[in-house]
Chains A and B, each alone.
Chain A
């Protein structure tokens, strides 16, 4: 049986995220009318527009990182998670599934030449200095693989415990607690069972997650932007992704 494919968008905590999420789904449909989309949101935010646009709706709580809970509960076999404050700009959105190839999960990278837009990138570990290498802003993954299902759930659980003060490893700056990038880094770098997780990077990755805050003249994709990420300057009630 063919695997189901769909986009997953999460809007929790602030009403603006819901507004961005609805716009993102609408913009996907501009180019990909029959796309399947799951909206994960708080019940208090849902309106007729959201009900009309989304094929699947799941209610989450107001956790700061409800996105990870939503990702772990995706109703689609192949899921493309997108941060709510993005917009689709190109018809190649239909081709996003090809990016999975034989990987389990696919991310965009955090690279040194773009580090001028990162809030916290390098950090100290007991073994020496390192840096985050994967961005959690978008993620394509195959939920039919047990290791992926487990990984997504562990990412949510570890982040929840990290942010809730239930877990923090010795020798790491407490400022990193705010980042789900840290739990992602921990799982992919420190947890033995995920050494076999096949992690891929989007080809011409900037097309798929183009931060509007990037220097357009210096940092640009080879092809046209498919998803633009308005992460830096929007009014998100003090929340910075």
Chain B
């Protein structure tokens, strides 16, 4: 025998509670189950009350729909926050990877690569941004150039 029921996860689409979002489950004569998501307005276009709307509210109760709506709102807000956080962290991670690559490029510069000044090279590796990388790279280069000059004078 066929039957129908409204799933108990319906929620209000609008603050005015004039539209419902709900799921209708129909079981047919050979026991197949069909589910459809429905948006049901409180009033028809001619202004009269929509009997489907009344049927859902009677079946599920307004309090239960209120509860679902609030839970859904909180869940969606948490999901949005989680997504924003993920994007922010992802951007930070990408930035750090780019900085890491940038430092490795600096270490490829012959004078920096061959420098024995571990202290400065360590500072370059620990640099927090590109400006710091450039500064420490410059200091190492200047030191190496100075050494070259001194060797030349000898």
A interface, CB within 8 angstroms of B? 19-20, 22-23, 26-27, 29-30, 33, 49, 87, 89, 212-218, 230, 232-235
Contacts and interface: CB of A to CB of B under 8 A. Distances in A.
Contact of A234 (B97, B107, B118, B121): B97
A29 B122 CA distance: 9
A216 B97 contact: no
Given A26-B125, A30-B125, A49-B113, A213 B104 contact: no
Given A23-B107, A216-B92, A218-B85, A230 B121 contact: no
B66 interface: no
Q: Which 3 A-B pairs have the closest CB atoms?
A: A30-B122, A233-B97, A215-B89
Nearest to B123: A30
24 contacts: A19-B104, A19-B108, A22-B107, A23-B103, A26-B121, A29-B118, A30-B121, A30-B122, A89-B126, A212-B93, A212-B97, A213-B93, A214-B89, A214-B93, A215-B86, A215-B90, A216-B89, A216-B92, A217-B85, A230-B97, A232-B93, A232-B97, A234-B97, A235-B101
A241 to B, nearest CB: 14
A33 B122 CA distance: 12
Interface residues of B, number: 22
A215 B85 contact: yes
Nearest to B94: A233
Interface of B: 85-86, 88-90, 92-94, 96-97, 100-101, 103-104, 107-108, 113, 118, 121-122, 125-126
For the residues of A in contact with B, the DSSP-based class is loop
A213 B97 CA distance: 9
A232 B125 CA distance: 20
Contact of B96 (A22, A26, A212, A217): A212
Contacts of A234: 97, 100-101
Binding site secondary structure of chain B: helix
Contacts of B121: 26, 30
A232 B98 CA distance: 12
B113 to A, nearest CB: 6
A29 B118 CA distance: 9
Contacts of B92: 216
Given A20-B104, A23-B104, A234-B101, A216 B125 contact: no
A216 B93 contact: yes
A212 B97 CA distance: 8
Given A27-B125, A233-B93, 4 more contacts: A26-B107, A30-B118, A49-B113, A217-B89
Nearest to A31: B122
A29 to B, nearest CB: 7
Nearest to A47: B113
B43 to A, nearest CB: 45
Contacts of B86: 215
